[in-house]
Amino acid sequence: MDVRMLGQAEVLGTLGDVAHDRERHRRRRITHVAVVLGLVTTWFYWRLLSGNPARFGWPNVSLPEGFQDYLPGLILVLLLGSSLIIPLFVAGRSPHVQYRPSEIPVTFNDVVGLGMVRDEVVKTLNLFLAYKTFRDRMGGNPRKAILFEGPPGTGKTYMAKAMAREAGVPFLFVSASAFQSMYYGQTNRKIRSFFKKLRAAARREGGAIGFIEEIDAIAGARSGMRSSPMPDSLRHGGAALSVERSDSREGISGVVNELLIQMQSFDQPTAGARVKGALFDLVNRFLPEGHQFEKRPPVASNILVIGATNRAADLDPALLRPGRFDRSIHFDLPSRSGRREIIDYYLEKKAHVPELDKDERRDQLAAMTFAYSPVMIEHLFDEALVWSLRGGREAMEWDDVQQAKFTEEIGLKQPVEYTEDEKRTIATHEAGHAVVAYLNGIGRKLEVLSIIKRADALGLLAHSETEERFTRTRTELIASIQISFGGMTAEELFFGESGTGPGSDLAAATRIAAQMVGAYGMAGSLVSFEAIESSPVSQGIVGKVLADDEGRRAVDRLLDQAKEDVRKLLDENRHLVIALRDQLLVREELVGDEITDVLLQAAEAERFDRIERAGRG
Ligand SMILES: Nc1ncnc2c1ncn2[C@@H]1O[C@H](COP(=O)(O)OP(=O)(O)O)[C@@H](O)[C@H]1O
Ligand SMILES: [Mg+2]
């Protein structure tokens, strides 16, 4: 095999060393069977020829008298005994499931939009399949274990399934929680037997892959094991406060240790080899030095262990060191082009009108699914199909997708009757948000403005980024705080006071302000509160900043300034707030361009008014 093929972008399949090994094993098995069958046949033939053919039958055993009387009692005792003993054996069994490749419908072509991740996985798989070439000709150590980490729904399990299908070796799926058992010590036993099964499968087939789903369930950090080299006492500013994680299970440390040990024991000798070794040892004791039998070193089984988790930070650091799960593959939320691929892939399968085949629509879909994971995109289309069914249609339309997105993100509409006053307050409040977002929100697109109750929001303004970005400027953050204050300030301007409505707005504004003060150095001080690893008061950045007098004052100043600016802005643009409020009272919900249309018209009308007034005055 050409060494360079190891780096190719396709799976090696039957070209790899593993396939080679498997073929060798198959031939050897056939030879074994042929030899045994041949011997047996020869024996029968010999008996036949020598005039004494072999006969079969039951052995002549006679049961004692009165046996039938004891039989029921005996069976009862046996049943009871086995019901006590069998669970003990079963509990220590490996909980894995092994599928045949033909049972798995997912191929690498179904895993779309992952870009580099897919390449990395194929490379790892190829290294595994061509382990001998890699080891013998290049002197490399094949990877023993890799970690799939990333947020839920990003395709870790899905990718593993595709690997199982394409690898062509036994693939043992197990979910880490299945290792847990009610019997003490049984968890370790299950882990041992899982690895034993892996080794056996690898010996039989030239290689085996084990996949441990949600590995954090058994591989959480042992107490006292931290990735940070700093002693505890330093970390809490001298206070001797140490937070211990208490585990009610059989002690996570034993389990992690077991996992560590098993990861190092791919070269454990088989039972047969051990018996042979013991025999050699026995005989060697009688033999002079230099004439003894030599024991061959055990061959390491070709095993790849894949762990999947969405809480990689919680894993025990020892597990991530070289030789263990030393390679992490990060499954990120898909980028815009990744989402486009995923959208194309799923729309291919789901009924939709031709309009959704247009390039602009697809791009628009990719843009509006920012921060969606693949599973969320799939779910969005399923919901859109439900909406189209509701409308009596057989294929989804653009509107269905949009409806589905709104319901997904902001919840189902709940028909409640507000009192007239309440409705007016809510409309003013939402109009206030929208006007600030329209005037000051840089790069924000107004999506929905509504006074229909959804989940716990009485009304809402949904706005989104016009472009996909990963950083924010100070101006943008200030604008976000101002948008939050829009509702409260509008209420104050029009009714003289605000009610309980703005509660959640204030929380949002405080959160952003605290981050500006304590994390981004945007409010005068460059001290980062993120550097405090944990404080007795709170873990979060907001808690750390607010617990500090100076930090709290800085937050206060930011918020007051933002509020003051918003008050001026809305005072100058009362006409916009009024126009939106009135439209909301009539239509209850404005979507997309409807909002900007109202605002543009109102601005136009105001301009005429002003000219007229100037003309008269
Ligand atoms: N890259 C992808 N391409 C297509 N579908 C995907 C992709 N990633 C995830 N999915 C869909 O999302 C579902 C859930 O993904 P899963 O692998 O279970 O997520 P997790 O990362 O939490 O293990 C999959 O069954 C599949 O339908
Ligand atoms: Mg999963």
Q: 339-348, 386-395, 404-413: which range is least confident on average?
A: 404-413
Residue 535: per-residue pLDDT: 62
Mean of pLDDT values over 500-515: 90
In what order do the strands lie in the sheet containing 460-465?
Answer: 460-465, 444-450, 589-591
* pLDDT confidence band for 617 (50 / 70 / 90): low
Task: Report how far ligand 2's centroid is from the alpha carbon of 211 (Å).
Answer: 11
Contact call for residues 577 and 546 (beta carbons, < 8 A): no
**133 contact partners, CB below 8 Å, separation of at least 6:** 1, 3, 6, 17
Q: Does the Cβ of 378 fall within 6 Å of ligand 1?
A: yes
Confidence (pLDDT) at 432: 93
Residues 340-353, buried b or exposed e (16+ Cβ, 10 A)? bbbbebbbeeeebe
> Is the CB of residue 307 below 6 angstroms from any atom belonging to ligand 1?
no
Mean pLDDT over residues 380-394, rounded? 92
pLDDT, one tens digit per residue, over 233-251 is 333 333 333 333 444 444 5
From residue 539, how far is each of 490, 514, 547 by CA, in Å?
34, 13, 11
Most confident listed range (96-105, 372-381, 608-617): 372-381
SS (H, E, C) 445-495: EEEEEECCEECCECCEEEEEECCCCCCCCHHHHHHHHHHHHHHHHHHHHHH
Q: What span, in angstroms and rounded, lies between the C-alpha atoms of 207 and 204? A: 8
Cα 611 from Cα 293, distance rounded (Å): 110
Tokens 């074994």, residue located: 32
Look-up of token digits 């199909």: 385
| Count of beta carbons in the 10 Å neighbourhood of residue 496 | 7
Report the 3 state secondary structure along 156-202: HHHHHHHHHHHHCCCEEEEEHHHHCCCCCCHHHHHHHHHHHHHHHHH
Ligand 1 pocket member 198 (CB < 6 A): no
Q: Is 157 in the pocket of ligand 1 (CB under 6 A)?
A: yes
Ligand index nearest the alpha carbon of residue 108: 1
DSSP 8-state assignment for residue 154: S
Residue 375 alpha carbon, nearest atom of ligand 1 = 12
Q: From CA 491, how far away is CA 499, in angstroms rounded?
A: 8
Residue nearest to atom 12 of ligand 1 (CA): 375
Spatial contact of 145 and 211, defined as CB atoms under 8 Å apart: no
- In sequence order, the 6+-apart residues with CB closer than 8 A to the CB of 367 are 336, 468
CA-nearest residue for atom 9, ligand 1, is 155
pTM: 0.76
Strand partners, 306: 146, 211
Contact by Cβ (8 Å): 27, 178: no
- Domains of the chain are 90-225+252-266+301-330 (3.40.50.300), 336-410 (1.10.8.60), 418-616 (1.20.58.760)
580 pLDDT band, cuts 50/70/90, is: very high
Residue 21, token pair as written in the block: 């090994």
Distance CA 42, CA 60 (A): 28
Q: What are the tens digits of pLDDT across the range 129-153? A: 888 888 888 888 888 899 999 999 9
Which spans in 50-155 are helix H? 67-91, 116-129, 131-132, 138
Residue having the nearest C-alpha atom to atom 14 of ligand 1: 153
Q: Which two tokens stand for residue 489?
A: 């300030």
pLDDT, residue 59, reads 75
Which residue is listed with tokens 């299950």?
190
The Å distance, Cα 96 to ligand 1 centre, comes to: 21
**CB 425 near ligand 1, within 6 Å:** no
